[in-house]
Amino acid sequence: MKFERAVRRKAKLRLALSGPSGSGKTLSALLLAQGIGGRIAVIDSERGSASLYAGSVQVGGGRKVITPDFDTLNLQPPFSPENYVEAIKAAESAGYDTAIIDSITHEWSGSGGCMEIAESVAKARFGGNFWSAFSVVTPRHQAFIDAMLQSNMHIIVTMRSKTETAQQEGKNGKKSVVKLGMKAEQRDGFEYEMTAVLDLSHEDHFATSTKDRTGIFMGRDPVVITSETGKRLLAWLESGEDEPEPEKPVEMADEAVQAHIKAMTGAISVEALQAAWITASEAATDAKDKGAYRRFVGCANARKAALAGEEEKAA
């Protein structure tokens, strides 16, 4: 184990937009992607609603907003984690720069999503125990999260949200229902995986940060998302250092590899084989030649078995 000085590297965006219906999640995602630039793919589980924003959109005050060109993939039920992963991989293979997933709520609570999978698994394998079924569902959900985190694209996701309430007892002993704010319809803890999470309000479409690793939003007044917001995010993402070039192994010369193999195959005792193996393995390790090391392992094992057979015959 080795500690190294922390360095912020260039990164890909992982941003979540949460809000109730009509809060402007899809349009905001498109404008962010417009500012980032490049080719845009939309994975649409909202019955093709993203295509309604193609071209231009009229917003408050009669103002028109020009949206970027984008391609869509209309995702159909079942909204299983595997179908989302397949869509992400398809966007990567097609060379898109940014993928908008609109929305990831369906992966969790939609038709064929994780909650329905858990109910089905609970009945089939756990005697109806819903929570035990998550031993099966959680790895599948995590594979979806990993597909986003490991992607070479910028990822923007939208999440539906609903008002969260709770009962509260007043000083007079009477109970009342109070609003605690908006809760995203996804698995608890999802926000920890994101670079930033923005909540959009229905009334004015303002975005408020609930998590922000960039410093662009946190502690500031709510903002209206535009393509300029995407440009600012891209500038922050690109301000880190480049990833270091991976070390290229120095392959052993074929003559040296053959010499070590000859020494092991010609060993007439276990002791001689062990000495030849140590010399060969150290040479392969120093050269960082994994291929040669594997060949030496195979050769040593084969010669060891042969020597054991010769001893058995002699006995």
Q: What is the mean pLDDT of each run of 10 residues along the chain (315 residues)?
A: 87 94 92 97 94 85 86 96 97 97 95 96 94 94 96 96 66 59 80 92 87 89 93 95 75 89 92 93 89 92 88 75
Task: Measure the CA–CA gap between 81 and 62, rounded to whole angstroms.
Answer: 39
- In this prediction the pTM is 0.74
Whole-number Å distance between alpha carbons of 61 and 296 = 74
Residue 14 identity (one-letter amino acid): R
Q: How far apart are CA 179 and CA 164, in angstroms?
A: 6
CA–CA separation, 26 vs 47, rounded Å? 13
Q: Are 182 and 199 in contact (CB under 8 A)?
A: yes
Distance of alpha carbon 202 from alpha carbon 212, whole angstroms: 21
Cβ proximity of 141 and 81 under 8 Å: yes
Q: Please name which of 129, 119, 158 lies closest in space to residue 23, comparing C-alpha atoms.
A: 158
- Sequence-ordered alpha helix ranges (H) in the chain: 25-36, 81-93, 105-109, 114-125, 134-149, 227-238, 254-265, 270-287, 290-314
- Residue 182 pLDDT: 67
* 14-168+176-238 classified as CATH 3.40.50.300: yes
> Per residue in 156-208, pLDDT tens?
999 998 766 556 666 676 766 544 456 788 888 888 999 999 999 887 889 99
Residue 255 falls in which region: left (phi positive, over 0), alpha (psi -120 to 50) or beta: alpha
Please give the pLDDT value at position 138: 95
The answer to whether the beta carbons of residues 1 and 143 sit under 8 Å apart is no
CB of 144 within 8 A of CB of 114?
A: no
Sequence ranges of the domains in the chain: 14-168+176-238, 254-314
140 CB contacts (<8 Å, ≥6 apart)?
A: 80, 81, 82, 114, 117
| pLDDT, position 199 | 92
Tokens of 11: 């990164």
Question: At 112, is the secondary structure helix, strand, or coil?
Answer: coil
- Whether omega for the bond prior to residue 78 falls within 30 degrees of 0, making it cis, is yes
Count the alpha carbons within 13 Å of 260 in the hemisphere toward its beta carbon.
Answer: 25
Closest CA to 149 of 40, 14, 29, 16: 14
List, for residues 107-143, the tens digit of each pLDDT value: 999 999 999 999 999 999 999 999 999 999 999 999 9
